[in-house]
């Protein structure tokens, strides 16, 4: 990792020096997603909200904290390939901690290329963001499609969707100015940011990052952002909407930290920490459908979210 350190504690003062105004953090808004409740007994579990799997919709997956090279990572990768056989998602966005430990060519093969071999062979592209366990050199790794950039934006191949991959390990004023400018100028209806450190999380180990929320949340609100994808805490959590924005923590693609969701936060709409999981997403018009799928193939959360309109 070199001398890297996560410096959110000094972010507010740095941005103030650059002329930024920090807004107060948001409270809970009105929920917009209808979804299965967390882990009731099997006999009472409501039916999952099915992914429509429409021919012309945009389909993608979300994966985070995955590059362990261990068997659970491979098992979840097999579930991703199984899903794609009937739900042909076109790309995967990663919310950081793509590779744990060594990042030599043989490590990249064992921790990325081999687990997702079937997806890569089918033409699925991975668009990575970096976490605190990732070397910045990953931006030059071709299969992560970052083109040497540690933060970047790209348009989805279908539907009116634009993604914004941020580098929250180094949330510099320059990057914050960039994301504000890019989101203001983007004409797509869906603007989807993804990054490593969650603005909101019930994790006992890491939890929410309010300094980051003070800076990014006003930008997201003004731009009409509806959903945000993050990782870092090693479980799955869907946060109750904050000022109308639904935040997902998808940090259990390989790593897992059972018992780490703190129910006292009051943030959790659905949380799951018993198996590794990824999120499958489908966007059709103004609707976003999602299924969260574990390494044993169970759907542990699902729903549909309506696109939030930009503030006038």
Average pLDDT, the chain: 88
What is the reported pLDDT for 49? 87
Q: Is 202 inside any structural domain?
A: yes
> Is residue 187 domain-resident?
yes
**pLDDT value, residue 158:** 86
Task: Check residue 311 and give its pLDDT.
Answer: 54
Q: Is 312 inside a domain boundary?
A: no
Among the listed residues 180, 196, 274, 271, the one whose alpha carbon sits nearest the alpha carbon of residue 228:
196
Q: Say if 54 falls within a structural domain.
A: no
Q: What is the mean pLDDT of residues 231-252?
A: 97
pLDDT, tens digit, 9 for 90 and up, residues 86-129: 999 999 999 999 999 999 999 999 999 999 999 999 999 999 99
Report the phi/psi class of residue 53: left, alpha or beta, with left for phi > 0 and alpha for psi in -120 to 50.
left
Tell me whether residue 189 is in a domain.
yes
Give the model confidence (pLDDT) of 282-299 as tens digits.
999 999 999 999 999 999
State the total domains in the chain.
1
- Domain assignment of residue 68, yes or no: yes
Give me the pLDDT at residue 109, please.
98
- φ, ψ at 54 (rounded to 5°): -75, 150
**Is residue 7 over pLDDT 50?**
no
What CA–CA distance (Å, rounded) separates 27 from 129? Answer: 27
In this model, does residue 37 exceed pLDDT 70? no
**Residue 195 sits in which domain range?**
8-37+59-306
pLDDT in tens, 153-205: 999 998 999 999 999 999 999 999 999 999 999 999 999 999 999 999 999 99
More confident residue, 217 or 42: 217
Decide if pLDDT at 300 tops 70.
yes
211 within some domain: yes
Query: What is the bridge-based pairing of β-strands 91-95 and 299-306?
Result: unpaired
Q: Which pLDDT score is estimated for 12?
A: 46
CATH code for the domain of 217: 3.60.21.10
Angle between the 210-223 and 173-185 helix axes, to the nearest 10 degrees?
20
Give the per-residue pLDDT at 46.
Answer: 54
């Amino acid at each position: 990792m070199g001398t890297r350190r996560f410096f959110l504690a000094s972010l507010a003062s740095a941005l103030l020096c650059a002329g930024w105004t920090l807004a107060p953090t948001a409270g809970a808004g009105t929920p917009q997603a209808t979804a299965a409740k967390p882990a009731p007994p099997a006999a009472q579990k409501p039916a999952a909200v099915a992914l429509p799997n429409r021919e012309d919709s945009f389909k993608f997956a979300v994966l985070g904290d995955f590059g362990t090279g261990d068997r659970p990572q491979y098992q979840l990768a097999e579930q991703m390939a199984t899903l794609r056989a009937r739900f042909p998602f076109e790309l995967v966005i990663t919310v950081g901690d793509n590779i744990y430990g060594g990042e030599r060519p043989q490590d990249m093969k064992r921790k990325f290329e081999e687990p997702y071999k079937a997806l890569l062979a089918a033409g699925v592209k991975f668009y990575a963001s970096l976490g605190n366990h990732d070397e910045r050199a990953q931006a030059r790794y071709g299969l992560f499609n970052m083109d040497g950039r540690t933060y970047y934006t790209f348009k989805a191949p279908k539907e009116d969707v634009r993604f914004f991959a941020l580098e929250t390990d180094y949330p510099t004023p320059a990057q914050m100015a960039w994301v504000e400018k890019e989101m203001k100028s983007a004409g797509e209806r869906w603007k989807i940011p993804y990054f490593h450190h969650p603005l909101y999380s019930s994790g006992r180990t890491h939890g929410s990052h309010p300094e980051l929320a003070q800076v990014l949340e006003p930008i997201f609100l003004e731009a009409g952002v509806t959903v945000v994808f993050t990782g870092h805490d090693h479980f799955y959590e869907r946060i109750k909407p904050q000022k109308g924005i639904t935040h997902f923590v998808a940090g259990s693609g390989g790593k897992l930290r059972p018992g780490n969701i703190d129910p006292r936060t009051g943030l959790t709409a659905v949380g799951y920490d018993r198996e590794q999981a990824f999120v499958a997403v489908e966007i059709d018009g103004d609707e976003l459908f999602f299924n969260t799928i574990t390494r044993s193939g169970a759907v542990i959360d699902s729903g549909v979210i309506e696109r939030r309109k930009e503030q006038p």
